[in-house]
Amino acid sequence: MESNELSARAQGGTELMLQGLHSRLDPDLVRRFQIIPSRVRELDPNRKTILWLHDTPSEEEASFLEQPANRAVFSGIVNVSHYQALLYHMIPGVPYSNMTVLQNAIEPFGAYVPRRAERIRLIYHSAPSRGLNILVPVFEHLAERHPYIELDVFSSFSLYGWSERDESYRALFDRCMAHPRIRYHGAQPNAMVRATLSDCDIFAYPSIHAETSCLSAIEAMAAGCLTVCPAYGGLPETCANFARLYPFTEDLQTHANRFASVLEEAICTVRQRRADDEQLRARQVDYFNDFYSWDRRAREWDAFLRMLV
């Protein structure tokens, strides 16, 4: 797949971001700029080029940025978080003066509506490789202790056009489908995920992937979900102190134990439906829908590109 263009199959976060940006920019700016999401394959000699980084720096895709002549090809280099900018500064040695941080964006949700249901709904909506192998056994354990919890799982590599990679996770998907309180949805349109988020209480995300930013967390928190995730990669920055963070560890069993403890505490907190917790969720929703709104970010992109013109 040529990474400079949107794949007809892939509908992951990077693709949604590029679609969202192009749909909101002045068409004249779209004609003037080639915006490359992460991986450079072809350069358009007739347009100014922006390298819009979404991933962590790798030897294969980022080492060329070590050379000033290669960086000079781009009119701008955009990062999705300050954490990511630090990585690119430290690893391929990109000067901060070459980079601009323009964080991710979403279509806002509505105002927060306090949850009142007896059941507690958890959700996981990310790639299978980012912690589903920790979440499923932890949920199975907690479901024995808390008969009112349920879990929705939206997870499949087919979202990214890599259906063949699902095979190594088939047994995990089967466990989800076999559990009476887990609903496995596979890959679904973002609209369906967003509708489900609005009815969920907790985004359960024991991530083992060093996120540069996290659209899944942004949407979950904008919808009013309490997020439980490790203090790993760009998650602390993305979650802006609203999440229940726990120390990350590479040891999967220790990670599962830490996650289970914090998740159970979060379940008990949500179960109480206390007024002060509901007020905190309302402030969280206001923050994420404002700070990460496309209206705000599109204005920042517009100003950035016009400066380069």
Binned at pLDDT 50, 70 and 90, residue 10 comes out as: low
Residue 206 in any domain: the answer is yes
Mark whether 165 and 250 lie in a shared domain: yes
Question: How high is the mean pLDDT of the chain?
Answer: 94
Mark whether 297 and 151 lie in a shared domain: no
Q: What is the pLDDT of residue 285?
A: 98
Residue 8 in any domain: the answer is no
Mark whether 21 and 131 lie in a shared domain: no
Mark whether 21 and 52 lie in a shared domain: yes
Q: What is the pLDDT of residue 11?
A: 60
Sheet holding 202-204, edge to edge: 182-184, 149-154, 120-125, 202-204, 226-230, 244-246
- Asked if 10 and 1 count as a contact pair (C-beta separation under 8 A), the reply is yes
Residue 96 in any domain: the answer is yes
Binned at pLDDT 50, 70 and 90, residue 110 comes out as: very high
**Total number of domains constituting the chain:** 2
Mark whether 31 and 99 lie in a shared domain: yes
Q: What is the pLDDT of residue 54?
A: 95
The whole-model pTM stands at: 0.93
Q: How many CA within 13 A on the CB side of residue 146?
A: 24
Q: What is the pLDDT of residue 1?
A: 30
Mark whether 18 and 63 lie in a shared domain: yes
Quick one: tokens of 16? 């949604």
Residue 164 in any domain: the answer is yes
Binned at pLDDT 50, 70 and 90, residue 6 comes out as: very low
CATH number assigned to the domain comprising residue 174: 3.40.50.2000
> What is the DSSP track for 154-192?
E--GGGGT-GGGGGGGHHHHHHHHHSTTEEE--S--HHH
Mark whether 96 and 125 lie in a shared domain: no
Mark whether 54 and 30 lie in a shared domain: yes
Q: What is the pLDDT of residues 241-267, one digit of tens each?
A: 999 999 999 999 999 999 999 999 999
For residue 35, the cross-strand partners are 50
> Residue 40: which domain range?
13-105+293-308
Query: From the CA atom positions of the chain, what is the Rg in Å?
Result: 20
Nearest to 155 by CA among 200, 193, 110, 122: 193
Residue 98 in any domain: the answer is yes
Residue 113 in any domain: the answer is no
Q: What is the pLDDT of residue 115?
A: 87
- Asked if 179 and 167 count as a contact pair (C-beta separation under 8 A), the reply is no
Mark whether 136 and 263 lie in a shared domain: yes
* 7 pLDDT higher than 50: no
Other Cβ atoms less than 10 A from the Cβ of 124: the count is 27
Q: What is the pLDDT of residues 47-98, one digit of tens each?
A: 999 999 999 999 888 999 999 999 999 999 999 999 999 999 999 999 999 9
Nearest to 156 by CA among 37, 9, 18: 9
